[in-house]
Chain A
Amino acid sequence: GAVVSQHPSWVICKSGTSVKIECRSLDFQATTMFWYRQFPKQSLMLMATSNEGSKATYEQGVEKDKFLINHASLTLSTLTVTSAHPEDSSFYICSAKGQGGYEQYFGPGTRLTVT
């Protein structure tokens, strides 16, 4: 099956600093990548959709200047949490979809803790 990796798997940062999370499709070209956040015992909440070479489309209520998404290649998308605050602490998960078909494959997630 298709493999998606995320790095780092967990990160602790201080309030006010920025953190970058990478999402890579390892064995397929991802024309579309999605970023989600998930709070404990809750479902996945879509943050944004990004297509390679295009600006990301953010969901309502998600601050695009705070959560910067870049999808510069067909195998890499990055999410940068700028000026992080404790309320940004969450589990961030990316998913990727190749050209054609419906299947979306998820990364293992990144646990962000802002102190």
Chain B
Amino acid sequence: QQQVKQSPQSLIVQKGGISIINCAYENTAFDYFPWYQQFPGKGPALLIAIRPDVSEKKEGRFTISFNKSAKQFSLHIMDSQPGDSATYFCAATLQAGTALIFGKGTTLSVSS
């Protein structure tokens, strides 16, 4: 019940295309859902996050879509660029101050 399931494991997208990564959770007590971007040999960087009272949040080319009834949320990267090639992790947490529960990650490659 504490798991966050992420798919796909890897993704190849053409430059300019839309990258979509999905996550699903079971615990309805989760109330914060961030996405992190990690480049090789670096720490994860907070990309965008959403609370369950909102169905969508957009920041630049990055959008989170949140479906509370389905217990799913997804990251959409519009106009994907080679510089977006990285590993993306979804996560969830029960309340402020508690540890994040991470998905297994998605390796995105954007081909030019």
A binding-site residues for B, Cβ under 8 Å: 1, 4, 6, 31-32, 34, 41-44, 46, 49, 91, 93, 95, 97, 100-109, 111
Contacts and interface: CB of A to CB of B under 8 A. Distances in A.
Interface residues of B, number: 22
- The secondary-structure label for the interface of chain B is loop
Interface string B76-112: 0000000000000100010011111011110100000
Contacts of A93: 43-44
Contact of A108 (B42, B49, B107): B42
A102 B89 contact: no
Interface of B: 32, 34, 36, 41-46, 49, 89, 93, 96-100, 102-105, 107
A41 B100 CA distance: 19
Contacts of A6: 43
A6 B43 CA distance: 10
A43 B32 CA distance: 19
